Structure 1
Amino acid sequence: MTVPPAWPAVSFAEATAALTRPGSSFAVADAVVRGRPTRVWTHAPPTLRDLFLQARSFGDLPFLVYRDERASFDGFARAALVLAHALVDAGVRKGDRVAIATRNLPEWPVCYHAALLAGAVATPLNAWWTGPELVYALQDSGAVALVADGERLDRLAPHLAELPELRRVLVTRPAGAVADPRVAPLADLVGPTASWSSLPERPLPDVAIDPEDDATIFYTSGTTGRPKGAVGTHRASAATVMAHGYSVARSCLRRGEPVPVPDPSAPQRASLLAIPLFHVTGCHSTLGTAMWRGQKLVMMHRWDVDAGLDLIAAEGCTGAGGVPSIAWELASRAAATGRVLPTLEGVFYGGAPAAADLVRALKASFPAAQPATGWGMTETSATFTHHIGEDYEHRPESCGPPLPVCDARVVDVDGSALAPGIVGELQVRGPNLVRGYWNKPAATAERFADGWLRTGDLARIDAEGFIVIVDRITDMLIRGGENIYCVEVENALFAHPAVIDAAVLAVPHPTLGEEPGAVVTLAEGAAADEAELRRFVGQRIAAYKVPVRIVFWDGMLPRNPAGKILRRELKGALAR
């Protein structure tokens, strides 16, 4: 995109003030949240039940698409209400935990919202987990009910005796028979996807729900130990739906264009859901936004780049993405195969650091689509910053500014705030922060203090509030006393046109302590050797930061479902 010479038409502060003033669609007001003064969105859904009612208002518009299955917003709502009443009839009470352990299936949003409508705390579990890992989360959360697909239930079957608190297990897409009196088919209650619109109309369960009630428990990735259950309130879990629309509106004002007005006669927008719903990016940012804005959600059982490109074309998807590695694969594969996706208007990603050069790759492959990124954590209920348009093109290394209801600061080791541009630990606060960790007061006290969350990320913030994530504190290397930020070195590698994935790790050294090494993936049909990459990187960063060893990986690097690189699995490659 060619940026007009007059850009920006208004300053960042002027755009923020115009969009958040009283009466605006993105108005911000002061409130007291958990005893602290907090800015909140005036027009955000106060609870996830309100988000459900918004989705229900879209009626017969298509909502969930999975392979040859389709469900309308009305069908989804009917199924969720039938299941919500079944949970209440089975003894589920307000505050009980209802776990969901399935892959991305149309039943997932139904079960999630049924639990919420019943007043329960929806507790999504990682579908990649083994049986013992699933058992840990079920025991830790004290779940009284579980909805699982056949594959997850088969993993749990040998361990069901270890779960006496689990009173009800509903299974969908069963793989095999499980002899336990608590297990029953979900289809007995809601039937197949195609029949949801024919289910009887049910009222909302008579359960009082407050914005500060517990709504969700999402388990952290567990890269530094056992996963912790982050407890999100209704307000925190629902706040993310405002992020993308606000960021688009701000981008328009910065260009000197009017804020878009929703057109009810416009074609329905559609998003490709290529990331797991059991993480906050998939659930809050993608599913929640689709429900708020009436978008069709095209679900993938698991990510495959060729299948993703086919679905975007077949379903007319206007948005796609999820995590940076998916965006890289979309851009690389489309370029290699000459795919043209005329409906694609945006490629959105978060959950892991995005290389500055990803913007270039996406604009080259999809000239009409706007790249957008953001930063967030399980503890911030997904999106905390958002970055799009010319602001992103001018600051491609940044993850954007905080949303206007959020605050961020960078502090030194003593907790003192640092000036703009100085690297320190990022701390954040806002209405979208979870209230703490389930049954872990010590871990909660360690990470949350005076309303601020210690993120564990090293970052710097410029004078306008745009954040650059430099590294995880635990990933930073120290070579002979010099700090090396892995993300900086990875960005230098990503700048090479042949590189589409990269991770920098420590290589032990007898006198310097450690040195940087790298594992990289090359784009399809591209070629580069270690010497070329080291020479290329050495032209962009200081010599002591250049990887002393670079090895090549076949395929995208291993990641967890949240998109974070599994560095421990790569250490063996550098040791060879």
Structure 2
Amino acid sequence: MGTHSFTLPLPESIAWRTPLALLDRNGALYPDKLALVAPSLAPTGEARLTYGALARRVDQAAAALREAGLASGDHLGILMTNTAAAEYVTTALGAMRAGAIVVPLNARFALPELCAAIADMECTFLVHEASHDAAAGHLAEAFPALSGRVIRIGVDGDWAARLDRARVRPEEFPRVQENDVADILLTSGTTGRPKGVMLTHANAVATGIAVAGALSLGPEDTYQSPFPLFTSSGFHFNIMATLWAGATLVIEPAVDVEATLARMTRERTTVYCAVPAIYIFMLDAFDPGRHDVSAMRVFDYGGAPMAREVIRRLAEAFPHVELRQTYGLTEAGPTGTFLAGRDALRKIGSVGMGMPLCTVDVARPDGSRADDDEMGELVMRGPAVSQGYYKNPKATAATFHDGWLWTGDYGRRDAEGYLYYMDRRKDVIIRGGFNITSTEVENAIFEHPGVKEVAVVGIPHQKLGEDLCAFIVPKTSNPATDELSAFVAERIADFKVPRRWIFVSELPRNPTGKIQKHLLRARAELQLGINAGSGGSGSVDRT
């Protein structure tokens, strides 16, 4: 499929080639325009910063960090949550201004996971909020490189005072170049130790251009999202897109659908982005008598496949809102594909075509281009694609080769060039020699009126190799398994119908909302007592 580099330079026509240049541009063009509405550790609990104020606060943070000893090239770990989103954004951009490399740490990590991340990413500075005092103290003792280089940000700390007294001398800030590494974003690590994805300032700008284009973001938009800032969706997808567009970013503190709808009403939100599960909950909670979403023009869903039935229900419930699907991954910025609203129902199930600056295709294992409707691996190329994994050449070579980023996702391309995500390569179920994608089975199950959420995984089987197990979150009471089997058998081939059914109150998810299927597989094997000869029919968990 070609020999071009998988990461390409920004087009020469792009004048602003770092996120800091975008911030400076917006501060000059829109100094009084609202840039950020975010939870804050300040007594008010919220910060509302114009672009002019945001640019000044970032410069103050850069100066304060330099005075605290942060040097150009240092790896600054940030251990904070969206409850301190305003401080998170200003600290991260301030660190970039100071020439440092930002490493967002997963705030849900256990201490051993944090130790591994600090060691692997070679963090030499740490910023944290009060809720992580104990972990920060342990890390400071465990890693000599962090000694005296840990900053606590909180209402009872001295960080605000440091910002106020910091002496900002822009001429003393290092000259950040577009090809310098801006941040190292951790992968979800669902199959092992998280890897560090190296993204340059140019990668970040390319992400902003791609995502803003995919969402049609402009300066007049108010963009709202709950993605955690320690994820690529929160840190790059949201921040870089709004910086490029000059839009207003509204960051939510946590997933709370009632609060989300109230915030949409209050802020007159025009574009909202979240994982599919939140839209499922939103459909149940929305009350036109209490919630005004008349300003909304785009609902974007990504991070996980959206069930076709939910798309139909959203289109009926919010006929004035354009439904857009995005697909991407951290190694690409995260950029990838988008499906515009005009195709939401016509091409239901598709993830669309490449975002601006993104080339996305389907490849065979040998690197040749797959035919239309042939299942292969989704591959990407473009200026948002990462330089590789930090100090992990083996993983880099396995993922970035033949001129492309190989996503690990199976997909297909139809005759019109629209792409379809089919499954994670590791999640395709091979039952008796037949390849089955979990998404097509989940779509069939989801049409049942008693099903609220569903996830399908493969489990070992001595004779078939693998069998299917469906985890169901019911809307009320558990549907009968024989009824579910009959319902699904009318919609997909008989060999795709699960023979194991487990009912649960919720599905395990990572911070971005993706279902953690490795946990479901482990639970199924343990709960069902699967062994070499097992192969019985329906099982029910009523916990």
The alignment's TM-score, normalised by the length of structure 1, stands at: 0.83
User: Distance in 2 between the 1:170 and 1:189 partners?
Assistant: 11
Question: Deviations for 1:507-566, whole angstroms, at most 9, x for unmatched residues?
Answer: 33332122111112234x6874433332222121101101112222214x2210122211
1:554 is the counterpart of 2:526: no
Report the counterpart of residue 188 of structure 1 in structure 2: 161
Counterpart of 1:289 (choices 241, 245, 250) is: 241
Structure 1: gaps of 5 or more residues: 1-31, 176-183, 192-197, 250-259
Q: In 2, are the aligned partners of 1:352 and 1:562 still within 8 Å (CA)? A: no
Amino acid at match of 2:162: L
Q: How does 1:106-255 map to 2 (within 5 A)?
A: 106-166=86-146, 167-173=148-154, 185-190=158-163, 203=170, 205-247=172-214
Q: In 1, are the aligned partners of 2:225 and 2:238 still within 8 Å (CA)? A: yes
Q: 1:81: Cα distance to partner? A: 0.5
Q: How does 1:441-520 map to 2 (within 5 A)?
A: 441-520=393-472
Question: Deviations for 1:465-507, whole angstroms, at most 9, x for unmatched residues?
Answer: 3211111111111111111111111122223344332110123
Q: In 2, are the aligned partners of 1:99 and 1:123 still within 8 Å (CA)? A: yes
500 and 240 in structure 1: CA distance in 2 versus 1, 3 angstrom threshold: farther
The residue matched to 1:165 in structure 2 has which SS? helix
Report the counterpart of residue 64 of structure 1 in structure 2: 37
Counterpart of 1:406 (choices 349, 358, 370) is: 358
The residue matched to 2:286 in structure 1 has which SS? helix
Q: In 1, are the aligned partners of 2:362 and 2:377 still within 8 Å (CA)? A: yes
Q: In 2, are the aligned partners of 1:131 and 1:156 still within 8 Å (CA)? A: no
1:85 is the counterpart of 2:63: yes
Amino acid at match of 1:147: V
Counterpart of 1:98 (choices 76, 81, 94) is: 76
Question: Deviations for 1:165-218, whole angstroms, at most 9, x for unmatched residues?
Answer: 12421112379xxxxxxxx74223236xxxxxx998753653222221111100
The residue matched to 1:562 in structure 2 has which SS? coil
User: Distance in 2 between the 1:36 and 1:283 partners?
Assistant: 20
Report the counterpart of residue 394 of structure 1 in structure 2: 346
Counterpart of 2:18 (choices 47, 50, 53) is: 47
Amino acid at match of 1:548: R
Question: Deviations for 1:29-48, whole angstroms, at most 9, x for unmatched residues?
Answer: xxx99797667483473112
466 and 215 in structure 1: CA distance in 2 versus 1, 3 angstrom threshold: same
Structure 2: gaps of 5 or more residues: 40-44, 529-540
Q: In 1, are the aligned partners of 2:381 and 2:403 still within 8 Å (CA)? A: yes
User: Distance in 2 between the 1:204 and 1:121 partners?
Assistant: 20
Report the counterpart of residue 494 of structure 2 in structure 1: 543
Amino acid at match of 2:53: G
Amino acid at match of 2:501: I
The residue matched to 1:502 in structure 2 has which SS? strand
Q: In 2, are the aligned partners of 1:384 and 1:406 still within 8 Å (CA)? A: yes
Report the counterpart of residue 532 of structure 2 in structure 1: none
Structure 1 vs Structure 2 CA RMSD: 2.8
Q: In 2, are the aligned partners of 1:425 and 1:454 still within 8 Å (CA)? A: yes
| Worse-superposed segment, 284-293 or 124-133 | 284-293
Q: In 2, are the aligned partners of 1:558 and 1:569 still within 8 Å (CA)? A: yes
91 and 280 in structure 1: CA distance in 2 versus 1, 3 angstrom threshold: same
| Worse-superposed segment, 529-538 or 343-352 | 529-538
Aligned residues: 514
Q: In 1, are the aligned partners of 2:7 and 2:385 still within 8 Å (CA)? A: no
User: Distance in 1 between the 2:379 and 2:110 partners?
Assistant: 33
1:563 is the counterpart of 2:513: yes
Question: Deviations for 1:438-486, whole angstroms, at most 9, x for unmatched residues?
Answer: 1111111111114311111111112343211111111111111111111
Q: 1:404: Cα distance to partner? A: 4.1
The residue matched to 1:106 in structure 2 has which SS? helix
The residue matched to 1:64 in structure 2 has which SS? strand
Q: In 1, are the aligned partners of 2:4 and 2:403 still within 8 Å (CA)? A: no
User: Distance in 2 between the 1:399 and 1:299 partners?
Assistant: 25
Q: In 1, are the aligned partners of 2:6 and 2:400 still within 8 Å (CA)? A: no
Q: In 2, are the aligned partners of 1:98 and 1:144 still within 8 Å (CA)? A: yes
Q: In 2, are the aligned partners of 1:409 and 1:427 still within 8 Å (CA)? A: yes
1:75 is the counterpart of 2:43: no
The residue matched to 2:485 in structure 1 has which SS? helix
33 and 127 in structure 1: CA distance in 2 versus 1, 3 angstrom threshold: farther
User: Distance in 2 between the 1:37 and 1:106 partners?
Assistant: 32
The alignment's TM-score, normalised by the length of structure 2, stands at: 0.87
Q: In 1, are the aligned partners of 2:264 and 2:292 still within 8 Å (CA)? A: no
User: Distance in 2 between the 1:470 and 1:504 partners?
Assistant: 13
